[in-house]
Structure 1
Amino acid sequence: MIDRAAPRDVLVLWDLDQTLLDAGGVDRQVWLDVCAELTGTVLESAEVVPGSTVRALMRSLLRQSGLGEDDVDDVLPRAIGRERELLDARRELLVQHGRALPGARAAIEHFARAPHVTQSVLTGNQIDAARIKLEAYGLAAGLDLSRGAFGSDTVHRPDLVVQALDTARWLGRALEPGDVLMVGDSVLDVEAARSHGARVVAVATGETPASVLQDAGADLVVPDLVDLLPAMNSHPSLKGFL
């Protein structure tokens, strides 16, 4: 009889926006409304870097609204709190204008059935905004947000990988960086994983072309999450996460 060792415990961390879901622009309008409310300036156009943490994003938008650095520091906590409040009030708009991306629900359900896999999120969103979006699109089941890392905790996205590993160890999971798989759609997702030795699958459902994600160092690039599981099954370094 062949003795097959149990699979090693692993952690799968999902990015949210343009990876699992598309909020249909509702979140972007919330950010602009928050800035207008707190600064009195209505931004006709605004630059948002894909993969930014909410702290970095709101800092940038407040600067674009004309605030100096000292004022940005003062206003930022109110901006983050107000983002949560407005997004919560617009749950129906999220449902009307956004969607779960193809394959997202099936992928989450697959990993949820694997006893050696813990699933959470690594996202630039704050935890409450992440929960609101996931609930709006029926994606919350199977994700343990207590083990995630969120953009309200840091400006720099790579710090979130360290946070997720520290949380896993604090909860008694002896995980090494190579036991962590990130799934995201931006170069910042890939760089965050790579900077700390985590594995990374990039999905080309956001603004970044597949070729750019590949060049950034992703272990695997897929066109969408429909192709995720079979592609991972054919990839030697990723099969252990299935």
Structure 2
Amino acid sequence: MFREETPISRLVLWNIDLTLVDVAQVTRAAYAEAFQQVTGEPLVYLASTAGRTDSEIFYEFLARNDVDAESGAAQIADFLHALGEAFARRRDQLPARGRAMPGAPEALAAVAALDGTVQTVVTGTIMPNAVAKLAAFGLDGYLDLSIGGFGSEHYPKASLIQFTRMRAAEAHGSAFPESATVYITDSARDVEAALIGHATPIGVASGSTTESQLRSAGARYVLEDLTDQQALLHMIRGATRLPQAG
């Protein structure tokens, strides 16, 4: 997938939910099963998931449903384990009840063809569920998921961006400067995380966040969706300054 003769120096990070795929129905069902299994209480009131990790979402669920947290670290570990199992039981539902976002496969293929570029994900979803979401629509082959940032790591997304940059450098033997890192997302919270994590955000108004909200959060580059691959590549090139040879 990567050209050995081309020095790798550009890092393209992708959010998953409502940026690359929409599997909200399956995800909500898995959340509800895992929450009730761990707390003994039904998940009646949902919370906003955009830009949040699965750990953060669990605590939001506790607060919204007036469920007292018991032993924090143990409880969140139990929830994430139960969430992985609940989602795995529903993997066969993903193609029927979910979809790849418009233009997502073509956008990933176009970015994969850029010289000197590695692409992966930074997502609040735990790793097994993230891989399942992408694999269900044949999107995983375009991404180096071994270096990605996932909700399994219990860090905010700004930190996941920085950790992913370091893992990319170690894995590919090439520096990935902050100025050559972009984060593509539909979430205003992710745009803010990108700025904190020293990556240039590219907003995609494909979820519930509007273009004006993405720009207000700090996104200079915003797409309506991923169907215009040339516009996407133009934004990626404009947002990244690659190190000069020599």
Q: Same fold (TM over 0.5)?
A: yes
CA distance in 2 between partners of 1:115 and 1:28 (Å): 38
Query: Considering only aligned residues, what root-mean-square deviation do their CA atoms show, in Å?
Result: 2.0
Residue 102 of structure 1 is matched in structure 2 by 102
Structure 1, 62-71 or 41-50: larger mean CA deviation = 62-71
- The DSSP-based 3-state class of the residue aligned with 2:141 is coil
Residues 17-166 of structure 1 mapped to structure 2, 5 A cutoff: 17-166=17-166
Residue 233 of structure 1 is matched in structure 2 by 234
Q: Is the 8 A contact 2:120 2:143 kept in 1?
A: yes
Deviation at 1:37, TM superposition (A): 1.6
Residues 16 and 234 (structure 1), Cα distance of their counterparts in 2 relative to 1, 3 Å cut: closer
Deviation at 1:115, TM superposition (A): 3.7
Residues 184-223 of structure 1 mapped to structure 2, 5 A cutoff: 184-223=185-224
> Which amino acid is 2:75 matched to?
V
Deviation at 1:24, TM superposition (A): 3.8
- The DSSP-based 3-state class of the residue aligned with 2:238 is coil
Unaligned runs of 5+ in 2: 1-5
> Which amino acid is 1:238 matched to?
A
- The DSSP-based 3-state class of the residue aligned with 2:120 is strand
> Which amino acid is 1:137 matched to?
F
Q: Is the 8 A contact 1:232 1:239 kept in 2?
A: no
Give the count of matched residue pairs: 236
CA distance in 1 between partners of 2:142 and 2:236 (Å): 24
Report sequence identity in percent: 31
Q: Is the 8 A contact 2:9 2:177 kept in 1?
A: no
Q: Is the 8 A contact 2:45 2:64 kept in 1?
A: no
> Which amino acid is 1:83 matched to?
L
Residues 236 and 100 (structure 1), Cα distance of their counterparts in 2 relative to 1, 3 Å cut: closer
Structure 1, 114-123 or 40-49: larger mean CA deviation = 40-49
Deviation at 1:234, TM superposition (A): 6.3
Q: Is the 8 A contact 1:24 1:99 kept in 2?
A: no
Structure 1, 120-129 or 24-33: larger mean CA deviation = 24-33
CA distance in 2 between partners of 1:57 and 1:228 (Å): 32
Residues 64 and 9 (structure 1), Cα distance of their counterparts in 2 relative to 1, 3 Å cut: same
- The DSSP-based 3-state class of the residue aligned with 2:184 is strand
Deviation at 1:235, TM superposition (A): 7.5
Deviation at 1:101, TM superposition (A): 0.5
Q: Is the 8 A contact 2:95 2:137 kept in 1?
A: yes
Residues 5-16 of structure 1 mapped to structure 2, 5 A cutoff: 9-16=9-16
CA distance in 1 between partners of 2:237 and 2:142 (Å): 25
